[in-house]
Amino acid sequence: MSLRLLVVEDDREIRSLLQSSLSVEGFAVQTAVSLSEARALLQHDLPDLIVLDLGLPDGDGVQLVRELRRQHTVPVIVVSARHQEAQKIELLDAGADDYLTKPFGIAELLARMRVALRHRGTSLAAAVTTHTLDDLHVDLTTHRVERDGATLHLTPTEFNLLARLVRSAGRVVTHRQLLTDVWGTEFTEHTHYLRLYMAQLRAKIERNPSEPRHLLTETGIGYRLADS
């Protein structure tokens, strides 16, 4: 059975492009042009993944994500224009899985969809405990971090920060999510902690810390641990 997608997008051209190119990839695609149409469809039937445009004629995508997250874990990928940075962060903090900035390629969207679907799968089965990419290997159960087979010595905070990113490997994690999960809810405004610890982590993990291959910056939003 093919996976079912709901594409919520008011721009006719983008909507039909997504519908045709994702159908070709074997997905069963439903579309909605507004929040109200999306809500109506979602009452009948929950898709396997939602692609949600930020700017819709009858309101804000954040509201839909909040409504969904009260009951469901269905992956949501947000697509937005470049100037909608602030809303994008709000959406990720509200529980959206990832985002793409327009214009984006279908290959990029498919890659993000695969990661989001895989995370939903693993979150239902076993939690992610290891991460390997190129020279880097992380084992969360033994607290072992290796580069080229050599053990790296991380401080507890550096390890917790890396562990948080490993659990979401391939997906963006916002500044707020990282600060809340690693330092605690009272530290959500302390973004300088993140900059400091990320620089320390990169100095240990990256072959060339000024051109990070693993710990990627999502400007103005957060960080992403590369997983391919």
Q: Is 53 in the site for Ca ion (CB under 5 A)?
A: yes
In this chain, which residue has its C-beta nearest to Ca ion? 55
Binding residue for Ca ion (CB under 5 A) from 3, 34, 55, 160? 55
Q: How far is the CB of 9 from Ca ion (least distance, A)?
A: 6
From residue 77, alpha-carbon distances to 49, 109, 112 in Å are 8, 9, 8
Q: Is 10 in the site for Ca ion (CB under 5 A)?
A: yes
Q: Is 38 in the site for Ca ion (CB under 5 A)?
A: no
Number of residues that bind Ca ion (CB under 5 A): 3
Choice between 79 and 201, CB closer to Ca ion: 79
Q: How far is the CB of 58 from Ca ion (least distance, A)?
A: 11
Q: How far is the CB of 56 from Ca ion (least distance, A)?
A: 6
Q: Among 20-28, 46-54, 152-160, 212-220, which window interacts with Ca ion (CB under 5 A)?
A: 46-54
Residues ≥6 apart with Cβ < 8 Å to 175: 89, 191, 194, 221, 222
Choice between 11 and 135, CB closer to Ca ion: 11
Q: Is 212 in the site for Ca ion (CB under 5 A)?
A: no
Pairwise CA distance, residues 181 & 169, whole Å: 15
Q: How far is the CB of 31 from Ca ion (least distance, A)?
A: 13
Residues that bind Ca ion (CB under 5 A): 10, 53, 55
